[in-house]
Amino acid sequence: MDVITKITKTKREYNVTINDEKVLRLEKKIINKLKLEDEVDIDELIKESYDDLYDTALNMALNYLSYAMRYEAEILDYLGKKHFPDIVINDVLNRLLELKYVNDEDYIENFTRSKSASLIGRNKIKNDLIKKGIDVSLVLKTVEKCFSMEEETENLSEFILKQDKKHSELFYREKRDKIINSAVRKGYDYKLVNSVIDDIISEDENISENTKLKEKIKKRFYKYLNKGEEIEKVKYKVFPFFYAKGYSEEILSSVYNEILEEMENEG
């Protein structure tokens, strides 16, 4: 026999703790008959409380579903945290499945559409769904069905274009590496990113863009140099100014070295 080691009563919930381990939700009238150190038959207690617990759990689950679409594991976790017996939880879930209020495949499709609209790649979408406790084979099959490789490639192209504009101040190599890393973190396959990126950003275009950026930095340097300030002191004014605007160490150092070379040649 098991022993009741704690009884908890609140406005919302009546629980007993069995053997200092398992917390079990029971019907109010059953709890009121019990006292500490009572030896009990857990199965019998659950049987006596079943109808009331089932109705309560079903209503709580329906209310939980009213706020957002849920998946099976989420319902199990939610009711488990409310300390309902396993048999009640499973019966409620089965009822929700019968009513089609819970459907993991529908949840995966809805989740995938939402994330793909935010330009998230398929790898991250799959991993996020699997971490939720949804069946792996169902995740893989459903994501592949509702988010094709062609659609993912289109999203990736859009993502790369946005990143290209965002990192316009970077040299081509640094920009390319940064975009690839960002795309992989976003959930795109590394091989796919490599096969797409060079069709979208070109080294020639970036050379022209970097030339303009370097001229802008030089202009800032000479604003102070022409006043007679030492280049080392000017560096500590110019670098932080452009760092704050997102310019890279590479392009700033490149301009700095070019100016040093020009000054040496003039000297």
For the stretch 11-33, pLDDT in tens is 778 888 888 878 888 888 888 88
Q: How far apart are CA 202 and CA 254, in angstroms?
A: 20
Tell whether the model's pLDDT for residue 171 goes beyond 80. no
Whole-number pLDDT of residue 258: 87
| pLDDT, the chain, mean | 89
Tell whether the model's pLDDT for residue 85 goes beyond 90. yes
- pLDDT band at 267, cuts 50/70/90? low
CB 191 within 8 A of CB 232: no
- pLDDT band at 193, cuts 50/70/90? very high
For the stretch 124-140, pLDDT in tens is 999 999 999 999 999 99
Long-range contacts of 92-97 (CB under 8 A, 24+ apart): 92/54, 92/57, 92/58, 92/61, 93/61, 95/58, 96/58, 96/61, 96/65, 97/72
Q: How far apart are CA 123 and CA 86, in angstroms?
A: 34
- Give the residue among 218, 210, 221, 222 at the shortest CA–CA distance from 248: 210
**Between residues 35 and 60, which one has the greater pLDDT?**
60
CB 241 within 8 A of CB 220: yes
**Between residues 167 and 95, which one has the greater pLDDT?**
95
Tell me how far apart the 2 most distant CA atoms of the chain are, in Å.
Answer: 100
The residue assigned the tokens 């579903």 is 65
CB 214 within 8 A of CB 248: no
CB 104 within 8 A of CB 71: yes
